[in-house]
Amino acid sequence: MSNIRLRFAPSPTGSLHIGSLRTVLFNYLIAKSLGGKLILRIEDTDEKREIQGATEGLIKILAWIGLKFDEGPHIGGDFGPYIQSHRLDIYKKYVDELLIAGKAYYCFCSTERLQKMREDQQTKKQPPRYDRCCRNLSKEEVDKKIKQGETYVIRQKMPLNGEIIVYDELRDEIKFQNTDLEDQVLLKTDGRPTYQLASVIDDHLMEISHVLRGDEWLSSFPKNILLYQALNWQAPKFIHLTLTLNKEGGKLSKRQGDVSVEDFQANGYLPEALLNFCVLQGWHPSTSKVAIADKKDEILSLEEMVKYFDYHNMGTSPSIFDIEKLDYFNGYYIRQKSLEELTKLCLPYLEQAGIIELMQNGKIKMENDNIKFKNKLTGKEISFEYIKKVVKLEQERMKKLSEVGELTKFFFEDKLNYAQELLIWKKLTLEQVKINLQIVFELLKKIPNSEWTNDSIEEGIINYLKTKELKVGDFLWPMRVVLTGKQASPGPFDVAEVLGKEESLKRIKELISKKVI
């Protein structure tokens, strides 16, 4: 049995940041490329930052992304509980051991004292650090203070001199001076553990073999290692993942657009695209001999990533979040979808755009393709087959599922709203447009319903224009605009086919019978 075990350990403080998607993906890839397991652990020891329902939200969005866990609060496992607030007794036990061994101590310093100490340090231009005031309290003093009901935290005793060398799998050795390390808090005044304590204990007890986490934890890395040493435990391997920066080199923040996976989902991004995009933020298939032999480019399925990935080839320079690249991947994966699947994926977005209503008490019966929807713009019934034909015409152009409403609304509308000038092709006048559309109308009318396909529509119109030596654009541009009301859309024959003969003729008729044009 493999002893490779990795964990993704989010705090339930809100939605899943896109940077955390990268973290969970690389954890998954290390685990799976080495034949190991991925564990989900919820780090909810900071009550102040916890958001109600966030854990359920995390589990839901991770399921949508499609990365499967082997153990976790939602599936169980032999190393639970997997939620830190259910493990408080465990932390307490190890803190007691550290206290007895003289490796940790009670600190009774008040918030006010600590505040004043920081201010003094700032004035003296000293680094902010706990001054170890309580480190050498006698047992009697400690007992007395506890008896008097004074609140306390438990701090870890850091070595007072020397240096510590820690090892990151990507960065090799990193040296820290022990004098630079603060006596970190292990247990807070509310009796809850800090991240530093809980993560070390849990990683050990859950037999985690590799810890992959963001490089914001690099500065506390030596303290973690010292804690492993204090507990006489072997530390797992550590890999610190570089930050993702925006194009200007700053932190990704909400102000510059979407940062949570939930936002990307709402905006019509596919999990495949997000994963493919994220994997290139820190690793590249060109580092894999197997990928090169397979002639693999940057388009990678999850299975391919697992096949080619080797964490030793991960990069250590910050990666840049390039949304155009993500859009490119998303368009690519949209084009790869079967029409059936893509249409189903588009339904919620069409509903959101106020175009259709999912009629089965808000639920779509996916197994039944004959299901009818309500066209909210006309009040009429509309079939899944019709929506499928509409989506087919936009599959090539769609970059995000959320664009489907805007791109296809004209297929569902009764009355199109557009400026008449849009009908004009080059030097045509509106009068001429009307005459040309009258001709188109007559040509279309002649095509029997049973032969109403884009090919026969094209044939009927183009043959006529050729015989009469007329300019194609003078007819097809106004025809396309009168059917779509849009500057850009699929071609007029495709649109006419999907709209059907009756609706196409109706749209043209309406325009040509207008008195003033």
CB of 10 to ligand GLU, least distance (A): 5
Which residue, among 317, 320, 314, has the nearest Cα to 245 in the 3D structure? 320
Question: Taking a C-beta distance cutoff of 8 angstroms, is the pair 68, 31 a contact?
Answer: no
Q: Is the peptide bond before 285 cis (omega within 30 degrees of 0)?
A: no
Q: Which is nearer to ligand GLU, 195 or 464 (CB)?
A: 195
Q: Cβ 181 to ligand GLU, closest distance in Å? A: 18
Give the nearer residue to ligand GLU in terms of CB position, either 79 or 195.
Answer: 195
- Nearest to residue 7, comparing CAs of 318, 269, 238, 222? 238
Please state the closest distance from residue 9 (CB atom) to ligand GLU, in A: 4
**Closer to ligand GLU by Cβ: residue 11 or 504:** 11
Report how far residue 197's alpha carbon sits from residue 177's, in angstroms, rounded to the nearest whole number: 21
Tell me the two tokens of residue 96.
């007691």
Distance between CA 270 and CA 326 in Å, rounded?
10
Pick 41 or 501: Cβ nearer ligand GLU: 41
State the residues that interact with ligand GLU by CB under 6 A.
9-11, 43, 195, 199, 213
Distance CA 308, CA 319 (A): 20
Tokens of 431: 């009068």
* Phi/psi of residue 277, nearest 5 degrees: -65, -45
Q: Nearer Cβ to ligand GLU, position 224 or 489?
A: 224
Which residue's Cβ has the minimum distance to ligand GLU? 213
For residue 23, how many other CB atoms are within 10 A of its CB?
A: 20
Distance of closest approach, residue 395 Cβ to ligand GLU, in angstroms: 38
- State in angstroms the smallest separation of the CB of 499 from ligand GLU: 51
**Nearest Cα residue to 151 out of 115, 186, 110:** 110
If the CB atoms of residues 43 and 403 are measured against ligand GLU, the closer one turns out to be 43
Query: Could you tell me the sign of the dihedral formed by the alpha carbons of 511, 512, 514, 517, in that order?
Result: positive
Secondary structure letter of residue 72 according to DSSP: B
* Measured distance CA(64)–CA(273) in Å, rounded: 13
* Residue 124 is a catalytic residue: no
* 112 Cβ contact partners less than 8 Å away, ≥ 6 residues apart: none
Q: Supply the minimum distance, in Å, between the C-beta of residue 46 and ligand GLU.
A: 9
CB of 411 to ligand GLU, least distance (A): 45
For ligand GLU, give the closer residue by CB, 9 or 98. 9
State the catalytic residue, choosing from 254, 365, 380, 514.
254
**Separation of first and last alpha carbons in the chain:** 78
Q: Which residues contact 457 (CB under 8 A, 6 or more apart)?
A: 444, 447, 493, 496, 497
Residues marked active site are found at: 254
